[in-house]
Amino acid sequence: MGKILVEDKSIAVPGEILAEGMDFLPAGGVFRENDKIIASQIGIVNIDNRLVKLIPLNGRYNPKRGDMVIGDVVNITFNGWVIDIGCTNFAVLPVRDATSDFIDKGEDLSRYYGFKDIVVAKISNVSKTNMIDLTMKGPGLMKIKGGMLIDATPSRVPRIIGKQGSMISLLKERTGCKIIVGQNGKVWIKGESFESEKKAVDAIKMINNLAHTTGLTDKISEFLGGSENVQKEG
Amino acid sequence: MYKRKDRRLDEPREMDAKVGIIKRADGSAMFKMGNTIALAAVYGPRNLYPKFMQNPEKGILRVNYNMFSFSVSERIRPGPSRRSKEISLVSENALLSCLNLEEFPNSVIDVYIEILQADAGTRCAGICAASMALADAGIPMRDLVSAVSVGKVGDAIVVDLDKSEEDYEEGSTDMPVAMMPRNGKISLLQMDGNMSKEDIKKALDLARNTCNKIYELQKKTLKEKYMGEVENE
Amino acid sequence: MNNISKEYLLSLLQKGLRLDGRKLDEYREVELELNVSKNAEGSARVKLGNTEVIVGVKLEVGTPFPDMPDEGSIIVNAELLPLSNPDFESGPPNSQSIELARVVDRGIRESKALDFKKLCIVEGEKVWLVLIDIYSINDEGNLQDAASLAAMAALIQAKIPKYDGNKVDYNEHSEKLPLVRKPVECTVIKIGENFIVDPIKEEEVFIDSRLTVAVIEDGNICAMQKGGEKALSIEDVEKMIEIAIEKTKELRKKL
């Protein structure tokens, strides 16, 4: 009975009416007002049968349980660490979720993660008031050393990773760098040389700015040129 | 009947807008109405300090309106004035109506409006820029906000008064109006002068029409910035 | 937006590399736009890469200082707007903005760039005061050099409003300001044992010391300001002056 008022995959701005009629269901990035579904951010309209949603093109990271994120330690308290993952609130890594090692009461916590250390962690819980809990227990979660940390727009992360990891594999292969992409938009890059790291950084900035272009993979492939001599990690 | 030299009575001045001009900000925009140029930048949502000001139920919007000292003919001493504080407050209310602050407990959204060049209508240009900057920052909004001044110059009802019209010797009434385009609801309304209620009604209708045009420009500018990142091959 | 350590930065600098690929003594792209604010007597916008500063010049009639009754003067003010940097707070000028303004002031004043005597209207009673207001629009490092270049450009562009003895008519302007010299400032940074110019935000965090040098056309220095926590040797200072003289030649071409 209702009507879709915009094209699928078009850009909408806040306040734009996307669909009319109670048949349609608002998913993310939109809200309902009476019988209308309205965009609440700038984003790409995504219509899937009766689900109307918007993929935001900007905005802060919205923390979700289960997401893998990268952040840096900004404070150490007596029962854990405070980590900046780029949200309005800092996240907390409690002692009991920090490592599979046993940590004694009263131990110096900075032995494990010190001020300004960078960690790859998982969000274990997000409370109603957006308090975020992290855990470091799990595969792939660890402290990282060296390298560069850059900020990409959280909504572009899927593009940086690519379908089944195709884009990130391309980046790793052509630059020879280790790359970890957090769902919060933080990307860690470590390469053999500054030049290879810079190449990866520039490529990721390109993807960030052209995320919704078609033919992006070709563009990035062209930019990256041939592969670096990759030293396989043991 | 008062006549304008270079446009119709119901015609606003030439407008221009840009988005994303201040890279360090989370969102930013420029809005130009004739010779009035406003810049706006948004930072947030971010942690609010001092902590005792934090509200666990909802966030805070802080708008700071300021004019460059050389934006007008007679230099303004830098720093806040009573006028700029009042305009900050009404601009804040104008923008609040399109935000859901319950989504940002304990945090603050800071909006800075700077007037680079002034030829009347500065608070309206500021609000137009600020609402685009909020969208550019990815802050969830119920609608954009458009604003323009309407009023009476001599005996004519006009839209978008410039400074010479505000100062018109034979009398002028200035009425800044901010509106959310989708439902036409007014979020800023001020007036000084002398107008009958019938004239006010006419002026408000004129404001609505013009705000719709402004909205089209705001929408187009926002889409174009992100379109540049969404070309179709 | 990088989480760079000082050690990493030093290792790059030692190889002659900067984080954004520039050479140690290379400025970012310099953009200069004049007359960006039409109610000012003169105005300019300078961009050093993404760092952006706008400066406006206004003229007012004022009373001269008692010890210089036949001279006008300049008053320089800088506003580090919270719009330009998430760490800047609203409020009256803090020491950073005061230092920035005073260093720009000294560059112009000590070089005698403006012939103050020509700004005299009635000796002992009325002189032109040149008010230079600096606003930061986007801070990605090196606001100092951007501000001083924009101030100079605004002064070059500025015209004196008409004054009938009673009131200033800002709608009518006559001749340009009596500018006889064009000082240009260059801030040289020392990090470890390396000297760089035009730091980006990520580099500014690690500054050990800095020296802002104002240079006039004949290669003489008219003002200097050392900043930063670490001390400089005489050789350091000489080297930094050399760099500044070189770099200001290039910057001056933009005016």
pLDDT, position A78: 86
SS3 call for A157: helix
Q: Where are the alpha helices (DSSP H) in A145-231?
A: 157-161, 166-175, 194-209, 216-224
Neighbouring chains of A at 3+ CB pairs within 8 Å? B, C
**C-alpha B156: how far from its chain's center?**
24
Q: Is residue B216 over pLDDT 70?
A: yes
What kind and span of H or E run contains B187? strand B185-189
Residues of chain A found within 8 Å of residue B46, distances taken between Cβ atoms: 88
**Chain-chain contact of B70 with C139 (C-beta, under 8 angstroms):** no
Shortest alpha-carbon distance between residue B18 and chain A (Å): 15
Which residues does A17 contact at the CB level (< 8 Å), separation at least 6? A5, A36, A37, A38, B182
- The dihedrals phi and psi of A10, each to the nearest 5 degrees, come to -90, 170
Which residues does C112 contact at the CB level (< 8 Å), separation at least 6? C180, C181
pLDDT, position A231: 45
B12 touches chain A (CB under 8 A): no
- The dihedrals phi and psi of B53, each to the nearest 5 degrees, come to -85, -10
pLDDT, position A211: 66
Residues of chain B found within 8 Å of residue A17, distances taken between Cβ atoms: 182
Q: Mean pLDDT in runs of 10 for chain A (234 residues)?
A: 85 95 90 94 91 90 93 90 90 89 78 87 90 91 87 89 90 92 94 89 86 75 68 42
Of A39-48, C37-46, C50-59, where does mean pLDDT reach its minimum?
A: A39-48
The pairs formed by A19-27 with CB atoms below 8 angstroms and a separation of 24 or more are A19/A47, A19/A52, A23/A50, A24/A50, A24/A51, A24/A52, A25/A50, A25/A51, A25/A52, A26/A52, A26/A53, A27/A51, A27/A52, A27/A53
Interface of C with B in 133-152 (CB under 8 A): 133, 135, 137-140
Please give the biggest Cα pair distance in chain C: 64
What tokens appear for A146 in the block? Answer: 């060296």
What does the DSSP 8-state code read for residue B192?
B
C125-173 per-position pLDDT tens digit:
999 999 999 999 999 999 999 999 999 999 999 999 999 999 999 999 9
pLDDT, position A230: 46
Total beta-carbon pairs less than 8 A apart between chain A and chain C: 16
B233 touches chain C (CB under 8 A): no
Q: Is residue B233 over pLDDT 50?
A: no
3-state secondary structure A8-35: CCCEECCCCEEEECCCCEECCCEEEECC
Query: CB of B21 within 8 A of CB of B38?
Result: no
Q: Where are the alpha helices (DSSP H) in chain C?
A: 6-14, 95-110, 143-157, 201-204, 234-252
pLDDT band at B202; cut points 50, 70, 90: very high
B65-90 per-position pLDDT tens digit:
999 999 999 999 999 999 999 999 99
C125 exposure class (CB count in 10 Å sphere: 0-12, 13-18, 19+):
exposed
What tokens appear for A49 in the block? Answer: 């049968």
Query: CB of C144 within 8 A of CB of C48?
Result: no
B10-27 per-position pLDDT tens digit:
999 999 999 999 999 999
What is the residue-averaged pLDDT of chain B?
Answer: 94
**Which of B37, B43, B68 is facing C56, going by the closest CB pair?**
B68
B157 touches chain C (CB under 8 A): no
- Neighbour-count burial for C64-97, b at 16+ CB within 10 Å, e otherwise: beeeeeebbbbebbbbbbbbbbbebeeeebeeeb
The pairs formed by C97-103 with CB atoms below 8 angstroms and a separation of 24 or more are C99/C225, C99/C227, C100/C134, C100/C143, C100/C144, C100/C147, C101/C76, C101/C77, C101/C134, C102/C76, C103/C144, C103/C148, C103/C185, C103/C212, C103/C214, C103/C223, C103/C225
pLDDT, position A227: 59
Mean pLDDT, rounded, for C235-246: 97
pLDDT, position A215: 77
Interface of C with B in 80-99 (CB under 8 A): 81-86, 90, 92
CA dihedral C241, C245, C247, C250 (to 10 degrees): 170
pLDDT, position B52: 84
B20 touches chain A (CB under 8 A): no
Q: Which of A128, A62, A130, A140 is nearest to A91 (CA)?
A: A130
pLDDT, position B232: 37
B220 touches chain A (CB under 8 A): no
Starting at the edge strand found earlier in the chain, the sheet holding A30-33 runs A3-4, A17-20, A36-39, A30-33
pTM: 0.93
CA-angle at B51, arms to B47 and B52, nearest 5° = 140
C50 touches chain B (CB under 8 A): yes
Mean pLDDT, rounded, for C218-222: 96
In terms of DSSP bridges, do strands A91-94 and A80-84 run parallel, antiparallel, or are they unpaired? Answer: antiparallel
Residues of chain B found within 8 Å of residue C170, distances taken between Cβ atoms: 73-74
pLDDT, position B15: 98
Interface of B with C in 25-44 (CB under 8 A): 25, 35, 37, 39, 41, 43
Which residues does B53 contact at the CB level (< 8 Å), separation at least 6? B60
Total beta-carbon pairs less than 8 A apart between chain B and chain C: 81
**Chain-chain contact of B70 with C39 (C-beta, under 8 angstroms):** yes
